[in-house]
């Protein structure tokens, strides 16, 4: 049991470090994603604000410089270490719980059981993820200086609290859960499943090469977003909309 607990804490530390790397490398694309998700519908006869991913990237850099692609990064950088750590920690705990109730405790977890353990991790991360996503998205949609309402994540959090208290900061929590529970389940199930498929019979998946692990992680990310993108669009629009525009997630 002591060895299992040690493994959970290794997951916690590895997840935190991996989260920082993920934010630094992926935030520009996340900014483009949020801007495309939240851009207003064009008036009849007018072109949309952005024609696509590349057009959004070019216009952002032209008007705001490369720093424009990194708007709102401070919020996820601060939160990503505990978020990813909690995610991997929750997955480890989920696996332990499922293993403890199995009749054959030495058998490998099925993909469905791995999905359940991963979904549990998505519940744990929402406490930090929901307010972090709210602040990040509001900062990301600020374009140029004329429309600048928030001067950073701390200023944004203060103003949100002043406008509507803690409920305003946590706006979009249900949609964050709708995204992260199935997405986390899909990520961990596909990640572990691909690693197991790449492992020769009779060998340990922890002995896989770095290339194989990277491939498994990359494919898991694709499967993760194939499930997450629909509720993520709803979440981004809901979290950045002015008060009263939506009465709920419907």
Q: DSSP for 215-248, please give it.
A: HHHHHHHHHHHHHHHHHHHHHHHHHHSPTTS-SS
CA distance 224 to 190: 8
Per-position pLDDT tens, the chain of length 250: 444 455 556 666 766 677 778 788 889 999 999 999 999 888 888 889 899 999 999 999 998 898 889 888 887 877 777 787 788 888 989 999 998 888 777 778 899 999 999 999 999 889 888 999 999 999 998 876 556 788 888 999 999 999 999 999 999 999 999 999 999 999 999 999 999 899 888 788 878 888 998 899 899 999 999 999 999 999 999 999 988 788 777 5
How many domains would you assign to the chain? 1
Determine phi and psi for 77, rounding to 5 degrees.
Answer: -65, -45
Judge whether 20 lies within some domain.
yes
Judge whether 249 lies within some domain.
no
Q: CATH number of the domain at 170, please.
A: 1.50.40.10
Domain span at residue 75 reads 2-240
Judge whether 113 lies within some domain.
yes
Judge whether 138 lies within some domain.
yes
pLDDT, position 15: 63
Answer yes or no: are the C-beta atoms of 38 and 32 closer than 8 Å.
no
**Helices 2-38 and 53-64, interaxial angle, to 10°?**
80
Predicted TM-score (pTM) above 0.85: no
Answer yes or no: are the C-beta atoms of 130 and 174 closer than 8 Å.
no
Residue 6 vs residues 120, 121, 143: alpha-carbon distances, Å: 19, 18, 46
pLDDT, position 240: 93
pLDDT, position 204: 81
Judge whether 246 lies within some domain.
no
Judge whether 245 lies within some domain.
no
């Amino acid at each position: 049991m002591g060895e299992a607990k040690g493994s959970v804490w290794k997951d916690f530390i590895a997840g935190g470090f991996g989260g920082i790397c993920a934010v630094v490398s992926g935030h520009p694309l996340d900014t483009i994603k949020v801007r495309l998700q939240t851009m207003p519908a064009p008036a009849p006869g007018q072109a949309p604000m952005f024609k696509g991913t590349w057009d959004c990237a070019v216009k952002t850099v032209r008007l705001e410089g490369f720093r424009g692609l990194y708007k709102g990064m401070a919020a996820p950088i601060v939160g990503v270490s505990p978020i990813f750590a909690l995610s991997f920690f929750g997955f480890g705990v989920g696996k332990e719980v499922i293993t403890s109730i199995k009749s054959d405790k030495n058998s490998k977890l099925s993909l469905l059981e791995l999905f359940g353990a991963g979904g549990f991790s998505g519940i744990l991360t929402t406490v930090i993820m929901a307010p972090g996503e709210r602040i990040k998205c509001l900062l990301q949609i600020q374009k140029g200086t004329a429309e600048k309402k928030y001067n950073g994540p701390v200023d944004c959090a203060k103003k949100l609290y002043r406008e509507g208290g803690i409920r305003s900061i946590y706006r979009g929590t249900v949609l964050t859960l709708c995204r992260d529970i199935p997405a986390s389940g899909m990520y961990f199930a596909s990640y572990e499943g691909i690693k197991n498929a790449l492992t020769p019979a009779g060998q340990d998946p922890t002995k896989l090469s770095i290339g194989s692990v990277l491939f498994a992680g990359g494919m898991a990310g694709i499967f993760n977003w194939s499930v997450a993108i629909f509720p993520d669009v709803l979440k981004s629009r809901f979290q950045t909309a002015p008060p009263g525009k939506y009465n709920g997630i419907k």
